[in-house]
């Protein structure tokens, strides 16, 4: 009956971060960026302060073939940490994700997954996505 579940997440995730700071690590590159929650300049693709928006702000390659409109799966990421800081999965996103390769329980579309609270988020960009060459100008 001794049920000592240690959830390793939640409030503890902000330990070494300044109060209103969001820290996002992109794997496998290992690039970590930080910004003040709510102050990220919007880069015109996907939802504001979404994982795609963060990637675009910091020059991390995350493909977004449909321009962040929840109409493809090229922005697919796996959320390794900080899922509790991110907006809930909505029906249209879930429908699209069903078609994504390598679907996992922690799969999200980067353009729809909005970081709603300060704290630490770790996402992994699937290999097939990283290898996909974008045709941006
Ligand atoms: S960029 Fe197409 S669904 Fe996210």
| Domains of the chain, start order | 18-130 (3.10.20.30)
Ligand 1 atom closest to 110 (CA): 4
- Over the stretch 118-134, which tens digit does the pLDDT of each residue have? 999 999 999 877 654 54
- In this predicted model, what pLDDT tens digit does every residue of 55-99 receive, in sequence order? 999 999 999 999 999 999 999 999 999 999 999 999 999 999 999
Q: Nearest CA to 77 among 63, 95, 57? A: 63
Q: Is the pLDDT of residue 114 over 80?
A: yes
Q: Which atom of ligand 1 is nearest to the CA of 112?
A: 4
Ligand 1 test: best mutation among 48, 54, 65, 94, most atoms within 8 Å of CB? 65
How high is the mean pLDDT of the chain?
Answer: 88
Asked whether 116 and 61 are in contact (CB, 8 A), the reply is: no
pLDDT in the model for residue 16 = 76
Tell me how far the alpha carbon of residue 64 lies from the centroid of ligand 1, in angstroms. 5
Closest by alpha carbon to 128, among 78, 58, 59, 81? 78
pLDDT at residue number 17: 87
């Amino acid at each position: 009956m001794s049920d000592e579940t240690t959830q390793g997440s939640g409030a503890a995730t902000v330990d070494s971060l300044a109060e209103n700071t969001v820290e996002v690590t992109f794997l496998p590159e290992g690039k970590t960026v930080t910004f003040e929650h709510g102050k990220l300049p919007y880069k015109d693709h996907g939802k504001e302060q979404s994982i795609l928006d963060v990637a675009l702000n910091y020059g991390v390659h995350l493909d977004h073939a449909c321009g962040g409109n929840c109409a493809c799966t090229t922005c697919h990421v796996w959320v390794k940490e900080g899922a509790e800081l991110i907006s809930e999965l909505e029906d249209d996103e879930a429908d699209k994700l069903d078609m994504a390769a390598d679907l996992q329980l922690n799969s999200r579309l980067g353009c729809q997954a909005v970081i709603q609270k300060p704290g630490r988020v770790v996402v992994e960009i699937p290999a097939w996505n990283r290898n996909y060459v974008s045709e941006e100008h």
